[in-house]
Structure 1
Amino acid sequence: MREMWHLRVAWLHEFADEPVEILSEVGADGYERRKVERFRDGRIGWADEKCEVGGTGLGEVPVPPLDEINAQQEFVATRIAGGEFERAWTQALSGQ
């Protein structure tokens, strides 16, 4: 059985209203459990299974494998440590 894991995706684009960095906590079932999105202008959105803030929501389908994400030219995806995700989550919840 798969374990929970954490992901950072840099999204290379010019859209003002879309995030440039997405951090996700992915459950053993492949679905996002928590997400933090950072925007070019410094805004931060977040979502979990109970709440959505700043226009951020959890994905409705399982997170694809890293190689599938990275096959798309506008994305750079890497696994990150749980502690790194927790720091971003704490920052997002504090509104920083």
Structure 2
Amino acid sequence: MKIYVRVAWRHEFDNEPVTLLSEIINGEEVRKVEIFRDGHADFADSSRATGSTQLSEALMPSIEEIAEQEEFMPEEIDADTFEAAWQAATGDDA
């Protein structure tokens, strides 16, 4: 099963992303985009990564589990929303 998740991360750290977008297949994160407060984005997939962005090595928690942490506001998004963020971060064509 493939899902796409966007997580708003509420914090005051200057060097950490404020939005995380993930493509998840059967619990495994396969692509990620991290958007920072200044608007720049880093990304990771199985073969490349920018900045400090990395794919999770563990299975991803459910949206409900993520939401249990006050600083995170997760939501499921559609593939088009993820692909737009991925394309903006990577410059790849869809």
TM-score (norm 1): 0.92
Aligned-CA RMSD value = 1.2
SS of the equivalent of 2:85 reads helix
Residues paired across the two proteins, number: 92
| Structure 1, unpaired ranges of 5+ | none
Which runs of 4 or more aligned residues in structure 1 lie more than 3 Å from their structure 2 counterparts after TM superposition? none
Other structure's SS at 2:82 match:
helix
Aligned: 1:70 with 2:54: no
Matched, 1:55 2:37: no
Post-superposition CA distance 1:27-78 (Å, at most 9, x none): 12x1100000000112210000000112111011111011110010000000
C-alpha distance in 2 between matches for 1:82 and 1:38 = 17
SS in 2 for 1:53: coil
The unaligned stretches of length 5 or more in structure 2 are none
TM-score, normalization: structure 2?
0.94
Query: Partner of 1:16 in structure 2?
Result: 14
Tell me what 1:33 maps to: 30
Identity of aligned residues (%): 45
